[in-house]
C-alpha cells in the first residue's frame, strides 16, 4: 500500500534513478539552514503523496517524474495555510462529466439540492459526534436540540446563500459544545486567519489536512475539483473539495482533536503563541499528523459494500456517489455514521 509522506524539515527532493532522495537541511551556529543532513531514500512505488510544511528545493525533472508516477505534492506555509498542490496530469478526464457538473451548477434547483445534501450529511455527523460524547458523560444535548431546530429549516431554503447562513448557525452551536467535550483547553469562539488559541489552531490545521485528502480523492475520479455547489467556485481554489469535506470534518478532524487533547497527547508546549496568533509547532504537527493518519487508515464494515473500508477510501466512494448523481445514475446520499 502506498503511503503519505510528511516533510516537516526544509530540504531538497530529487530523483535518484527510480527512487526519490530527500536531503534535509541542518542549522548552522547562526540558526541558518545551510548544511545538508543525512539523506533519506524513498522507493517511488511506496509513495502516494507528499505534504510539505518546510521549504522544499526541487526542479522540473523531479516534478515530471512525480507526475509520471501519479504522486501529488501539497504545500503549506509557515502559518499552516494551505497554499497549493502539484497534481499529476488528469488521467480520468471526461467531457461528459464536465458537462454534467456544469449543468448542475448552472441550474439553481439542482445546485441547491446537492448543497442541501452536503449540509444534511455534515449536520448528521456533527450530531453523531456530540452523541458519542454525551454517552460518555458530556452534556451536549442542549446543543444537539438547538442544531435540530436550525436543521429543520434546511428543506425550506430558497437559495445557497440562505442555506449557508443556516449552516453557519448550526456549526457555531456545534462549536459551543467543544468546551464541554475538551477537558484541558477552552475554545471560546471560532477564530481563523489567524487562529487565536490552541483549539482553533487544531481545527484550522485539521480542516486543511482533510481538504487535501479530499482533493486527492477527487483527482482519482472523473470529477472536476473546481466546480462546486455549496461553496461558490472561485479563482485558485478547488471548491468541490470544500463541499465534500463538510461531510467528513466531524468524523475525521474533530474526533482526532478530541482524542489528542483529552488523552494529553498534545499539550500547551506543542503550540507557539506569537503576534496574536496560535500555531502548532513542529512537534505538535507530527503528533497530530500521526493521529490523523491513524484515523484515515481505520476501517469499518461498510453497509452497502459488505466489506471493511478505510476512512481514506470512504472519501473516494463519496466522490463516486456524487458522480453517479450528476450523471443521473443514482441519487446522491451523503455518508452518515450509523454506529
Residues in CB range of 188: below 8 A, 6 or more apart: 179, 196, 197, 199, 200
Rounded Cα–Cα distance for residues 148 and 316 (Å): 29
pLDDT in tens, the chain (339 residues): 789 999 998 999 999 888 999 999 875 555 455 678 889 999 999 999 999 998 899 999 999 999 999 999 999 987 778 888 998 876 666 889 999 999 999 999 999 999 999 999 999 999 999 999 999 999 999 999 999 999 999 999 999 999 999 999 999 999 999 999 999 898 888 888 789 899 999 999 999 999 999 999 999 999 999 999 999 987 657 899 999 999 999 999 999 999 999 999 999 999 999 878 999 999 999 999 999 999 999 999 998 888 999 999 999 999 999 999 999 999 999 999 987
What Rg, from alpha-carbon coordinates, does the chain have? 21
| Torsion, CA 62, CA 68, CA 70, CA 74, rounded to 10 | 30
Q: Which residues contact 239 (CB under 8 A, 6 or more apart)?
A: 225, 226, 227, 228, 231, 232, 233
Cell digits of residue 138? 458530556
Residue 149: C-alpha distances to residues 145, 146, 154, 244, 249 (Å): 6, 5, 10, 23, 21
The full DSSP string for 104-120 is HHHSHHHHHHHHHHHHH
Among 204, 220, 224, 215, smallest CA distance to 103 is for 224
SS3 188: coil
Detail the DSSP E strand segments found in 263-313.
Answer: 271-274, 277-280, 299-301, 308-310
Q: What sign has the CA pseudo-torsion 297, 250, 215, 61?
A: negative
Percentage helix, strand, coil for the chain under 3-state DSSP, each rounded to 5: 50, 20, 35
Cell representation of residue 277: 496568533
Q: Which residues contact 302 (CB under 8 A, 6 or more apart)?
A: 308, 309, 314, 317
Q: What nine digits make up the cell of 61?
A: 525533472
Structural domains of the chain, ranges and CATH numbers in brackets? 3-86 (3.100.10.20), 95-326 (1.20.120.920)
pLDDT for residue 91: 60
pLDDT value for 235: 60
Q: What is the pLDDT of residues 278-334, one digit of tens each?
A: 999 999 999 999 999 999 999 999 988 889 999 999 999 999 999 999 999 999 999
- Is the CB of residue 227 less than 8 Å from the CB of residue 305? no
Longest dimension (CA), the chain: 64
Query: Using CA atoms in the order 248, 249, 251, 257, what is the torsion angle rounded to 10 degrees?
Result: 160
Q: Closest Cα partner for 118 from 339, 321, 303?
A: 321
Cα gap 1→132, rounded to integer Å: 31
What CA–CA distance (Å, rounded) separates 95 from 233? 19
Q: Whose CA is closest to 247, among 176, 169, 329, 311? A: 311
What totals of helices (H) and strands (E) does the chain contain, helices first?
Answer: 11, 13
pTM: 0.91
Amino acid at each position: 500500500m502506498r503511503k503519505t509522506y510528511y516533510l516537516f524539515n526544509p530540504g531538497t527532493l530529487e530523483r535518484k534513478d527510480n527512487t526519490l532522495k530527500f536531503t534535509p537541511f541542518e542549522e548552522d551556529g547562526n540558526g541558518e539552514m545551510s548544511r545538508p543532513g543525512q539523506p533519506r531514500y524513498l522507493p517511488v512505488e511506496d509513495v502516494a503523496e507528499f505534504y510539505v510544511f518546510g521549504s522544499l528545493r526541487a526542479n522540473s525533472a523531479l516534478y515530471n517524474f512525480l507526475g509520471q508516477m501519479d504522486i501529488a505534492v501539497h504545500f503549506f506555509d509557515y502559518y499552516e495555510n494551505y497554499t497549493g498542490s502539484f497534481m499529476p496530469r488528469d488521467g480520468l478526464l471526461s467531457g461528459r462529466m464536465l458537462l454534467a457538473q456544469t449543468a448542475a451548477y448552472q441550474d439553481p434547483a439542482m445546485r441547491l439540492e446537492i448543497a442541501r445534501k452536503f449540509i444534511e450529511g455534515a449536520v448528521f455527523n456533527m450530531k453523531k459526534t456530540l452523541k458519542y460524547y454525551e454517552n460518555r458523560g458530556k452534556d451536549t444535548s442542549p446543543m444537539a436540540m438547538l442544531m435540530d431546530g436550525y436543521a429543520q429549516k434546511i428543506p425550506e431554503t430558497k437559495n445557497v446563500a440562505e442555506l449557508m447562513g443556516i449552516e453557519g448557525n448550526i456549526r457555531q452551536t456545534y462549536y459551543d459544545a467543544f468546551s464541554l467535550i475538551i477537558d484541558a483547553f477552552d475554545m471560546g469562539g471560532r477564530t481563523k486567519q489567524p487562529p487565536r488559541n490552541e483549539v482553533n489552531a487544531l481545527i484550522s490545521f485539521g480542516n486543511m489536512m482533510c481538504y487535501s485528502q479530499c482533493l486527492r480523492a477527487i483527482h482519482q475520479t472523473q470529477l472536476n475539483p473546481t466546480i462546486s455547489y455549496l461553496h461558490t467556485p472561485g479563482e485558485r481554489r478547488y471548491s468541490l473539495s470544500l463541499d465534500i469535506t463538510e461531510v467528513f470534518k466531524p468524523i475525521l478532524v474533530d474526533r482526532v482533536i478530541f482524542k489528542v487533547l483529552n488523552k494529553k497527547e498534545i499539550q500547551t508546549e506543542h503550540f507557539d503563541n506569537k503576534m496574536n496568533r496560535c500555531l502548532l509547532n513542529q512537534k505538535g504537527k507530527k503528533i497530530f499528523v500521526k493521529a490523523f493518519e491513524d484515523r484515515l487508515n481505520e476501517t469499518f464494515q461498510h453497509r452497502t459494500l459488505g466489506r471493511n473500508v478505510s476512512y481514506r477510501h470512504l472519501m473516494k466512494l463519496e466522490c463516486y456517489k456524487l458522480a453517479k448523481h450528476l450523471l443521473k445514475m443514482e441519487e446522491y446520499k451523503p455518508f452518515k455514521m450509523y454506529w
